[in-house]
Amino acid sequence: MRREYFNWARNSGVEGSTSFFEDTNELLVRMRRMIELSAKLKHALPRDRGGRRSYDDERLFIALADVFARAGGAPVTYWTEHDPAGSGMADTPFRRFVQAFYEMLPVPSKRTAAGVDEALRHAMGSRRS
């Protein structure tokens, strides 16, 4: 930017232009403080041990069970030896609802269908308690 611009900006008569340099300086001071604070916050973060993180789907599955129940269905899940898909989960209407919902999410699935069944079984177990 040319120096003439700075002189013109201050003397332009535009509302607020008389404090152009002071406001610019204040903004730069605030930016420096934020950079320093961000560096301190980054340094204060706990070390990441690189362990496996849970998906935290339990709340989602419990919310889906509540929606299913309010719609008049019975949010039931249980294990069976007669599952043709081989996941061990009984093919209940609630299970099909959850599987269909999970497939509709606009993000890549982080679980296989059997993984969804396992998480669903765990969530429903904690919902009952």
**Interatomic CA distance for residues 108 and 121, integer angstroms:** 22
Residue 113: exposure state from Cβ atoms within 10 A (0-12, 13-18, ≥19): middle
Q: Write the pLDDT tens digit of every residue in 32-87.
A: 999 999 999 999 988 877 766 666 778 888 888 999 999 999 888 877 766 555 56
Maximum average pLDDT range among 5-9, 24-28, 52-56 = 24-28
Q: What is the pLDDT of residue 44?
A: 92
Residue 94: exposure state from Cβ atoms within 10 A (0-12, 13-18, ≥19): buried
Q: What is the pLDDT of residue 1?
A: 57
Residue where the block lists tokens 């497939």: 103
> Could you give phi then psi for residue 49, rounded to 5 degrees?
-80, -5
Q: What is the pLDDT of residue 39?
A: 95
Q: What is the mean pLDDT of the chain?
A: 81
Q: What is the pLDDT of residue 36?
A: 97
Residue 122: exposure state from Cβ atoms within 10 A (0-12, 13-18, ≥19): middle
- Identity of residue 32: R
